[in-house]
A = this chain, B = another copy of it.
Amino acid sequence: MILVKQSVLRLFQYRDFLIRSKKLGKESIFSDDFAENLGTTSIQVRKDFSIFGLSGNKRAGYKVDELLKQLNDVLKKDEKQKVIIVGAGNIGKALMKYDGFREGGLEIVALFDNDSKAQNEKAKPPVLALEQLYGFINENKIELGVIAVPYHSAQQVLDIMILAGIKGVMNFAPIALKAPKNFYINDMNLKIELESIAYFVKSLKKKRT
Protein backbone atom coordinates (compact mmCIF):
# COMPACT_ATOMS: atom_id res chain seq x y z
CA MET A 1 0.00 0.00 0.00
CA ILE A 2 1.52 3.24 -1.17
CA LEU A 3 0.66 6.88 -0.48
CA VAL A 4 0.08 6.12 3.14
CA LYS A 5 1.42 8.87 5.35
CA GLN A 6 -0.38 11.87 3.89
CA SER A 7 -3.53 9.89 3.23
CA VAL A 8 -3.77 8.79 6.84
CA LEU A 9 -3.58 12.39 8.03
CA ARG A 10 -6.40 13.30 5.69
CA LEU A 11 -8.48 10.30 6.75
CA PHE A 12 -8.42 11.66 10.29
CA GLN A 13 -9.65 14.99 8.96
CA TYR A 14 -12.40 13.33 6.96
CA ARG A 15 -13.42 11.59 10.15
CA ASP A 16 -13.65 14.87 12.07
CA PHE A 17 -15.74 16.37 9.31
CA LEU A 18 -18.02 13.33 9.30
CA ILE A 19 -18.53 13.62 13.04
CA ARG A 20 -19.41 17.30 12.74
CA SER A 21 -21.76 16.62 9.81
CA LYS A 22 -23.49 13.85 11.71
CA LYS A 23 -24.12 16.27 14.58
CA LEU A 24 -25.78 18.59 12.07
CA GLY A 25 -28.07 15.77 11.01
CA LYS A 26 -26.45 15.00 7.64
CA GLU A 27 -26.96 11.45 6.47
CA SER A 28 -24.88 11.38 3.34
CA ILE A 29 -21.88 13.33 2.05
CA PHE A 30 -20.17 13.69 -1.34
CA SER A 31 -16.48 13.64 -2.03
CA ASP A 32 -16.84 17.28 -3.06
CA ASP A 33 -18.05 18.18 0.43
CA PHE A 34 -14.99 16.62 2.00
CA ALA A 35 -12.76 18.40 -0.50
CA GLU A 36 -14.36 21.75 0.09
CA ASN A 37 -14.20 21.34 3.84
CA LEU A 38 -10.56 20.55 4.05
CA GLY A 39 -9.21 22.43 1.11
CA THR A 40 -8.35 19.64 -1.27
CA THR A 41 -9.94 18.08 -4.36
CA SER A 42 -12.64 15.44 -4.68
CA ILE A 43 -10.20 13.32 -6.67
CA GLN A 44 -7.81 13.32 -3.76
CA VAL A 45 -10.63 12.34 -1.40
CA ARG A 46 -11.79 9.41 -3.51
CA LYS A 47 -8.22 8.28 -4.05
CA ASP A 48 -7.62 8.28 -0.31
CA PHE A 49 -10.74 6.19 0.24
CA SER A 50 -9.82 3.91 -2.62
CA ILE A 51 -6.42 3.15 -1.12
CA PHE A 52 -7.99 1.97 2.11
CA GLY A 53 -10.82 0.12 0.43
CA LEU A 54 -13.50 2.54 1.57
CA SER A 55 -16.36 2.86 -0.87
CA GLY A 56 -19.47 4.94 -1.33
CA ASN A 57 -22.44 4.86 -3.65
CA LYS A 58 -22.34 5.92 -7.23
CA ARG A 59 -24.23 9.18 -7.66
CA ALA A 60 -25.30 9.19 -4.02
CA GLY A 61 -22.09 9.86 -2.13
CA TYR A 62 -21.18 8.28 1.17
CA LYS A 63 -23.56 7.33 3.97
CA VAL A 64 -22.31 9.14 7.07
CA ASP A 65 -22.86 6.34 9.58
CA GLU A 66 -21.51 3.64 7.34
CA LEU A 67 -18.37 5.53 6.33
CA LEU A 68 -17.72 6.57 9.92
CA LYS A 69 -17.82 2.96 11.00
CA GLN A 70 -15.45 1.93 8.20
CA LEU A 71 -13.14 4.84 8.97
CA ASN A 72 -13.00 4.02 12.67
CA ASP A 73 -12.04 0.53 11.65
CA VAL A 74 -9.29 1.58 9.24
CA LEU A 75 -7.95 4.18 11.67
CA LYS A 76 -8.06 1.70 14.55
CA LYS A 77 -10.18 3.99 16.67
CA ASP A 78 -11.39 1.11 18.78
CA GLU A 79 -10.45 2.12 22.28
CA LYS A 80 -9.31 5.21 24.22
CA GLN A 81 -5.61 6.04 23.92
CA LYS A 82 -3.86 7.13 27.09
CA VAL A 83 -1.28 9.88 26.66
CA ILE A 84 1.24 11.42 29.01
CA ILE A 85 2.96 14.79 28.70
CA VAL A 86 6.47 15.42 29.97
CA GLY A 87 7.07 19.09 30.78
CA ALA A 88 4.26 21.03 32.44
CA GLY A 89 5.28 24.44 31.08
CA ASN A 90 3.62 26.64 28.47
CA ILE A 91 2.99 23.99 25.83
CA GLY A 92 2.42 21.10 28.21
CA LYS A 93 -0.26 22.97 30.10
CA ALA A 94 -1.90 24.29 26.93
CA LEU A 95 -2.32 20.74 25.66
CA MET A 96 -3.49 19.54 29.05
CA LYS A 97 -6.27 22.12 29.13
CA TYR A 98 -7.48 21.40 25.62
CA ASP A 99 -10.52 19.20 25.66
CA GLY A 100 -10.78 18.55 21.94
CA PHE A 101 -8.50 15.55 22.31
CA ARG A 102 -11.17 13.52 24.04
CA GLU A 103 -13.33 13.50 20.93
CA GLY A 104 -10.46 11.84 19.10
CA GLY A 105 -10.24 9.17 21.78
CA LEU A 106 -7.10 10.65 23.30
CA GLU A 107 -6.95 11.00 27.06
CA ILE A 108 -4.17 12.87 28.82
CA VAL A 109 -3.72 10.87 31.99
CA ALA A 110 -0.74 12.61 33.60
CA LEU A 111 1.96 15.24 33.21
CA PHE A 112 5.50 15.07 34.53
CA ASP A 113 7.85 17.85 35.56
CA ASN A 114 11.13 17.99 37.43
CA ASP A 115 10.27 21.33 39.01
CA SER A 116 8.54 20.62 42.31
CA LYS A 117 6.63 23.90 42.03
CA ALA A 118 4.90 22.61 38.94
CA GLN A 119 3.94 19.30 40.55
CA ASN A 120 0.50 18.54 41.93
CA GLU A 121 -0.60 14.97 42.56
CA LYS A 122 -4.17 16.04 43.28
CA ALA A 123 -4.77 17.87 40.01
CA LYS A 124 -6.75 16.30 37.19
CA PRO A 125 -4.73 15.17 35.40
CA PRO A 126 -1.99 15.00 38.05
CA VAL A 127 1.39 16.64 37.54
CA LEU A 128 3.92 14.15 38.86
CA ALA A 129 7.64 14.14 39.56
CA LEU A 130 10.03 13.02 36.86
CA GLU A 131 11.07 10.12 39.12
CA GLN A 132 7.59 8.67 38.74
CA LEU A 133 7.74 8.71 34.94
CA TYR A 134 9.19 5.25 34.40
CA GLY A 135 6.92 3.52 36.89
CA PHE A 136 3.78 5.26 35.69
CA ILE A 137 4.34 4.34 32.05
CA ASN A 138 5.18 0.81 32.99
CA GLU A 139 2.26 0.20 35.33
CA ASN A 140 -0.34 1.88 33.14
CA LYS A 141 0.98 0.46 29.87
CA ILE A 142 1.16 3.91 28.27
CA GLU A 143 2.27 3.94 24.64
CA LEU A 144 1.96 7.61 23.66
CA GLY A 145 3.77 10.65 24.97
CA VAL A 146 4.35 14.33 24.36
CA ILE A 147 7.73 15.93 24.92
CA ALA A 148 7.36 19.54 26.05
CA VAL A 149 10.61 20.12 27.91
CA PRO A 150 13.51 22.43 26.94
CA TYR A 151 15.66 21.04 24.17
CA HIS A 152 18.64 20.14 26.36
CA SER A 153 16.45 17.76 28.40
CA ALA A 154 14.51 16.23 25.57
CA GLN A 155 16.80 13.30 24.76
CA GLN A 156 17.22 12.20 28.36
CA VAL A 157 13.46 12.31 28.88
CA LEU A 158 12.89 10.33 25.69
CA ASP A 159 15.37 7.67 26.77
CA ILE A 160 13.36 7.05 29.93
CA MET A 161 10.13 6.95 27.96
CA ILE A 162 11.49 4.41 25.51
CA LEU A 163 12.87 2.22 28.26
CA ALA A 164 9.54 2.30 30.08
CA GLY A 165 7.55 1.21 27.04
CA ILE A 166 6.37 4.30 25.17
CA LYS A 167 6.11 3.61 21.44
CA GLY A 168 5.65 7.07 19.92
CA VAL A 169 5.90 10.74 20.84
CA MET A 170 4.93 14.17 19.63
CA ASN A 171 8.02 16.31 20.19
CA PHE A 172 7.96 20.09 20.64
CA ALA A 173 11.66 20.47 21.52
CA PRO A 174 13.62 21.89 18.59
CA ILE A 175 16.08 19.03 18.31
CA ALA A 176 16.35 15.76 16.42
CA LEU A 177 15.87 12.94 18.89
CA LYS A 178 17.49 9.54 18.64
CA ALA A 179 15.29 6.50 18.99
CA PRO A 180 15.11 2.89 17.80
CA LYS A 181 13.73 2.19 14.36
CA ASN A 182 10.37 0.88 15.49
CA PHE A 183 9.74 4.04 17.51
CA TYR A 184 7.62 6.79 16.00
CA ILE A 185 8.48 10.48 16.47
CA ASN A 186 6.49 13.42 15.17
CA ASP A 187 8.42 16.68 15.44
CA MET A 188 6.44 19.89 15.84
CA ASN A 189 8.88 22.73 15.37
CA LEU A 190 6.63 25.73 15.87
CA LYS A 191 9.40 28.29 15.62
CA ILE A 192 10.57 27.05 12.26
CA GLU A 193 7.04 26.79 10.93
CA LEU A 194 6.47 30.43 11.83
CA GLU A 195 9.81 31.53 10.40
CA SER A 196 9.05 29.74 7.16
CA ILE A 197 5.73 31.54 6.86
CA ALA A 198 7.64 34.81 7.05
CA TYR A 199 9.93 33.53 4.31
CA PHE A 200 7.16 32.40 1.96
CA VAL A 201 5.27 35.63 2.49
CA LYS A 202 8.35 37.59 1.45
CA SER A 203 8.75 35.32 -1.58
CA LEU A 204 5.16 35.83 -2.67
CA LYS A 205 5.62 39.58 -2.47
CA LYS A 206 8.65 39.48 -4.76
CA LYS A 207 6.80 37.47 -7.38
CA ARG A 208 4.02 39.99 -7.81
CA THR A 209 6.05 43.20 -8.02
Contacts and interface: CB of A to CB of B under 8 A. Distances in A.
Interface stretch (A23-31, A53-61, A117-125, A196-204): A196-204
Interface in A70-107: 75-76, 81, 83, 90-91, 93-95, 97-98, 100-101, 104-106
B197 A184 contact: yes
B143 A190 contact: no
Contacts of A100: 174, 191
Contact of A196 (B12, B38, B191): B12
Interface of A: 8-9, 12-13, 16, 37-39, 75-76, 81, 83, 90-91, 93-95, 97-98, 100-101, 104-106, 143-144, 146, 167-170, 174, 176-178, 182, 184, 186, 188-202, 204-205, 208
Nearest to A95: B190
10 contacts: A8-B196, A91-B98, A93-B94, A98-B191, A104-B191, A104-B194, A105-B195, A106-B191, A143-B201, A146-B194
B168 A201 contact: yes
B204 A184 contact: yes
A201 B188 contact: no
A184 B200 CA distance: 7
A65 to B, nearest CB: 20
A9 B208 contact: no
A195 B106 contact: yes
